[in-house]
Structure formats: structure tokens, C-alpha cells
Amino acid sequence: MSTNRQLTGKEILEKEFKTGMRGYNQEEVDEYLDVIIQDYEAFQQEIDKLKQENERLRKHSDQTKSRQSAPNHQVNYDILKRVSNLEKAVFGNKYADSEE
């Protein structure tokens, strides 16, 4: 996911405006741009933080999925082994031998 950001904080800071006879107060514009730059940088930091968190959660999810699928095979094997041992105990070796 990429952002369609057109300006960086540095570009905003370095932007120069032409002045005219009845132009804007340069100090007021500079102060306003300073606030915009602070917000802009805070938003970028938040975006970066959320991207990192998203990546961490994806990795955690992938690890959880892989852990959940592998132990199921082991559990199934253990259950089958217990059933086999139980059959031997209940029916004796004759039952186990006749299946083979």
C-alpha cells in the first residue's frame, strides 16, 4: 500500500511564495506552515508505526497458523497410537495380529 503523498515536510518548509503589494503577511504564513509541517510529520510517523504494527501482526498470524496446523498431525498420531494400545490391552495380541 503506497501513499500518494506529493510533498515532504522539508518541501513544505522550503517553499517560498512571491510577495506582492497587498500580499500575505510572511510571518503568519511561515507560522502556519510550521504547524502544517508538524502535523504532516506526525501523520507520517503514525503511518510508519501502523505499517510496522501491521507487519508484526501479519508475521504473528502466519506463525500462529503454522503452529496450529503442525500440532494437529501430532495429536492425530498420538490418538491413533493410544487407540491401538487400548485395543491391544482390551482384546489382547490376537486382535492386533489378526488386523495385520
pLDDT at 17 over 80: no
What value does the mean pLDDT take over residues 33-54? 92
pLDDT in tens, 5-14: 778 888 888 8
pLDDT digits (tens, 9 = 90+) for 62-94: 887 776 665 566 667 788 888 888 888 887 766
Question: Which residues make Cβ contacts (< 8 Å) with residue 28, sequence separation at least 6?
Answer: none
Q: Could you tell me the pTM of the whole model?
A: 0.50
The ranges assigned to domains in the chain are 9-99
Q: What's 21-61 look like in SS3?
A: CCCCCHHHHHHHHHHHHHHHHHHHHHHHHHHHHHHHHHHHH
C-alpha cell at 21: 503589494
